[in-house]
Structure 1
Amino acid sequence: MTQQPKAPHSETIWDEAETWSRDHIESFQLNALRRQLARVQQTSVHYRKVFAEAGFEPGDLKSLDDLRRLPFTRKSDYVAGLEAEPPFGSLAAVAPGEAVRVHFSSGTTARPAPVLWTQNDIERWADLYARYLYAQGLRRGDVFQCMFNYAWFVGGLGATLAAQHLGALVIPASSGDTERQIETIFQYGSQCVIGTPSFMAHMAEAAEKMGRDLTTSRVKMVCVGGEPGASIPGTREKLERAWGAKMFDCYGALECQPIGWDTALQLGPTLAEDFIYVEVLHPDTHEPVADGERGVLVLTHLDKQACPLVRWWTGDMVVRDSSVAPDGRTHARLKGGVLGRADDMLIIRGVNLFPTAVEDIVRAFPGLSNEYVLVIDGSVKDPKTGFLTGVKLRVEPDAQATPDVGERLSQRLREKLQVRFHVEVVPPGTLPRTVHKAKRVIYE
């Protein structure tokens, strides 16, 4: 990055945009959307077609409500775009040579999906992350130990860039090597650590076995993302007690970095409303819901260059609170973080898993019927945290099945989806059949 760390706006606020009035936010969003929609119509093959089919011109956007004339963009659209315009897809909105980085999904589909970034995208990303880390309490000169995985996972490099941008001293530790992580915390005085909730829980357990008391370390901030946890009161309380530090929810997705992070007040992830336009919609009617009511989060980028999204259906169920926070921040918050999914997506050790990704593999695997079911029970959950550590898969053999079909399928799934599967091969005819929507995830 060429951009230098900037001076924060105040002792508690990184960017004055965090305190804009609601009227200012909405005026900014409307003007930004007009520019963004005009740009994506010109540069994105996918959105040029979408706009034409909807009979929509960017100049038609007279109010924020007019955006609802456009259809949602779903993961299936992104995947179809990759097939239509390989290798980076029809949603991409930059010419070859304009992008400087590509990050990939891990496990969302059987084929990793790429997302491009321009230099401006990266600098915007780093500054937004720095805003949130500053809001949580990280300061210039603090020691920041990043324990997100750097292999393919987008969060590791994003967090590293943000902490550097803020002026912290970064230890890019990655995940794993638990004992060294713990010794590093004590030896170098790490004040902020970041990783998945499940890894932070593992770290706390490992430290106890080593006879090291994390509450005596200098860690004051435990930032977590990649899976639910920090906004779940029981999990937050347990990990804060184990670490002797505040725990903060950091919510983002590969396609939209960031969405919203906790501030020091821990009132729920604060949305980056100068970066994304946010809709919260009823999962069935797709009508807007009022603040305080559950709905699906739908996002539109206001200035993303390389892979902009318009009305991205996240599938995450949330509750929005648009009231001004006690610290003066005016951007809306998600009370309780992500409350669940509007579909069957699972999050396993930070990897997003859709049943359709499993279906692609199961149905192409020799020796199996077309039926399968994913089972979530106590055997695939961490007994202390409740986080998923794997998934149970039930399949049926066909006449060509070999005795080791389950073992071979488990290996293939782990290789392709980066998730641990416990495969149960049940007798033919055991699994339910349906002529409507098959229920692929069951809870026992």
Structure 2
Amino acid sequence: MTTTNLPVWDSCETWSRDRITAHQTDRLATQLQRLGRDSAFYRKRFEEVGFDPRGFRSPEDLRALPFTKKTDYVGSVADSPPWGEFLAVPRETVARVHFSSGTTAAPVPQFWTARDLERWADLYARYAHAQGIGPGDIFQCLFTYTWFVGGLGATAGFQRLGATVIPAGSQETERQIRTIAAFGTTVLCGTPSFMVHLGAVAREMGYDPAASTVRAIIVGGEPGGAVPATRRRIEELWGARCCDAYGSLEFQPIGFDCPAQTGPHLAEDFAYAEIVDAVTGEPVEDGTPGVLVLTHLDKEAGPLVRWWTGDVLCRDSRPCACGRTHARLIGGVRGRADDMLVVRGINLFPSAVEEVVRSTAGLTDEYRIVVDSTVRNPDTGLLDAIRLQVEPLSAADAARVAAELAAAVKDRLRVRAVVETVPAGSLPRAQHKAKRLVVEP
């Protein structure tokens, strides 16, 4: 690849739909046969449903297979620790291991070979190139590096572009601002909420973020980059262009804005995408929101087939005004098909909160998670914390128990909790299914 003035990083970005389909069909045929041979999980799954990968003829044939869900993956690791049954290459060829956040269960691993890492870096480079980023830029990466996946991917991709990289992480806000000022940072990446916070702190320190050298901001980890009001807030605050990035631990990266900013482009040479009804699992037409389901086309270590992302999106397969032909995710991530919350870039499930509450002594069995304006960022509408209503067994111990619970949530889930104690017996009791999550305007 090259970073000349070509409009695209890779010629595949302008392939016709027919060529994209032909490429996907060819790669899927090869991948499925390999998995039937080398993946313990998929070898068993194919046998269970009577699927013979040698008979694969078109992407629609994938519908004969069930979705692969997080529970499948977690179960495989539990049954065959620590590597699980998805690994499809010899263990000694695994070059990198990253882990899930562990908010719903013990952290589970994902794997990359050296070739997978090259592919990953090139995809990040492709998407950053679409924003006109290249040699001469100074990129300050504010995605976290501790155990998480995004920071290293972005670092590798921007280095491939020829940019100077500052791997700053997501801590020490004032130091981040001083670094931007001292080194003339031109590109930032981080969560939307952190970009807003960073700008606010800069103003408190006497810096005008809009007068800084920053000209491009890449946001991910939260849906705010595709929310018009949030994007406007970031762009006005920093005087810089804001583009949306979308990825996950299992698929890195999935999509990235082009200059037209009409929705992240899928990397359709890297993954085959289906949009399906959240209830029936049947495919929906372009323009209809549904759950994104992805299949790796060429990943070597631990590839996934029909991976249920749980993210609700809307696809448009028509060519973009920018000239790229890969489908776009209009409006970015719309939300989750389940009750997952995103708190300052951390994916948080109510079941994980339940585990912490139930592990805290001195409380009744009843509690509620309340999502309302008291824990939403007033500028972005995104969550800065969660609010918990709990019932101490003893009113005299209420303050101590609340402090212990807040500390436990911060330590185990890495999010802030505002704990509100209420008298024992005051929360609703349920005869069947308790409603633990309450979302208010």
Cα 1:104–1:204 change in 2 (3 A) is same
Q: Give the deviation of 1:298 after TM superposition.
A: 0.8
Q: How does 1:32-71 map to 2 (within 5 A)?
A: 32-71=27-66
Match of 1:150 among 137, 145, 148: 145
Counterpart in the other structure of 2:207:
212
8 Å CA contact 2:372–2:439 kept in 1: the answer is: yes
- DSSP 3-state at the match of 1:336: coil
Q: Give the deviation of 1:23 after TM superposition.
A: 0.6
Counterpart in the other structure of 2:328:
333
Counterpart in the other structure of 1:3:
none
Match of 2:417 among 409, 414, 421: 421
Q: Give the deviation of 1:117 after TM superposition.
A: 1.4
Q: How does 1:355-434 map to 2 (within 5 A)?
A: 355-397=350-392, 403=398, 404-434=400-430
Counterpart in the other structure of 2:436:
440
Amino acid at match of 2:47: A
Bigger CA drift: 163-172 or 57-66?
57-66
Amino acid at match of 1:441: L
Match of 1:82 among 77, 84, 97: 77
Match of 2:110 among 115, 135, 142: 115
Q: TM-score, normalised by structure 1?
A: 0.93
1:193 aligns with 2:188: yes
8 Å CA contact 1:299–1:310 kept in 2: the answer is: yes
Q: TM-score, normalised by structure 2?
A: 0.94
1:342 aligns with 2:337: yes
Counterpart in the other structure of 1:290:
285
Looking at structure 2, the residues matched to 84 and 49 of structure 1 have their Cα atoms a distance apart, in angstroms, of: 14
Match of 2:304 among 306, 309, 312: 309
- DSSP 3-state at the match of 2:224: coil
Q: Give the deviation of 1:272 after TM superposition.
A: 0.6
Looking at structure 2, the residues matched to 156 and 338 of structure 1 have their Cα atoms a distance apart, in angstroms, of: 20
8 Å CA contact 1:144–1:169 kept in 2: the answer is: yes
Q: How does 1:145-184 map to 2 (within 5 A)?
A: 145-184=140-179
Amino acid at match of 1:104: F
- DSSP 3-state at the match of 2:291: strand
- DSSP 3-state at the match of 1:407: helix
Looking at structure 2, the residues matched to 435 and 361 of structure 1 have their Cα atoms a distance apart, in angstroms, of: 23
Looking at structure 2, the residues matched to 437 and 44 of structure 1 have their Cα atoms a distance apart, in angstroms, of: 38
Cα 1:345–1:140 change in 2 (3 A) is same
Looking at structure 1, the residues matched to 397 and 39 of structure 2 have their Cα atoms a distance apart, in angstroms, of: 47
Cα 1:434–1:298 change in 2 (3 A) is farther
8 Å CA contact 1:110–1:416 kept in 2: the answer is: no
Counterpart in the other structure of 2:349:
354
Looking at structure 1, the residues matched to 386 and 302 of structure 2 have their Cα atoms a distance apart, in angstroms, of: 31
1:227 aligns with 2:222: yes
Q: Deviation digits for residues 22-57 of structure 1, max 9, x if unmatched?
A: 011111111111111122222222222221211112
Amino acid at match of 1:390: A
Q: Give the deviation of 1:381 after TM superposition.
A: 1.4
8 Å CA contact 2:271–2:296 kept in 1: the answer is: yes
Q: Give the deviation of 1:209 after TM superposition.
A: 1.6
Looking at structure 2, the residues matched to 41 and 164 of structure 1 have their Cα atoms a distance apart, in angstroms, of: 36
Number of matched residues? 439
Looking at structure 2, the residues matched to 352 and 83 of structure 1 have their Cα atoms a distance apart, in angstroms, of: 21
Amino acid at match of 1:405: V
1:279 aligns with 2:274: yes
Looking at structure 2, the residues matched to 373 and 156 of structure 1 have their Cα atoms a distance apart, in angstroms, of: 34
Looking at structure 2, the residues matched to 30 and 168 of structure 1 have their Cα atoms a distance apart, in angstroms, of: 35
Looking at structure 2, the residues matched to 112 and 393 of structure 1 have their Cα atoms a distance apart, in angstroms, of: 24
Looking at structure 2, the residues matched to 430 and 116 of structure 1 have their Cα atoms a distance apart, in angstroms, of: 47
**Structure 1 residue ranges without an equivalent (≥5):** 1-5
Amino acid at match of 1:420: R
Q: Deviation digits for residues 284-316 of structure 1, max 9, x if unmatched?
A: 121111111111111111111212111111111
Q: Give the deviation of 1:344 after TM superposition.
A: 0.3
- DSSP 3-state at the match of 1:90: coil
Looking at structure 1, the residues matched to 89 and 390 of structure 2 have their Cα atoms a distance apart, in angstroms, of: 43
**Structure 2 residue ranges without an equivalent (≥5):** none
Looking at structure 1, the residues matched to 359 and 87 of structure 2 have their Cα atoms a distance apart, in angstroms, of: 30
Q: How does 1:234-253 map to 2 (within 5 A)?
A: 234-253=229-248
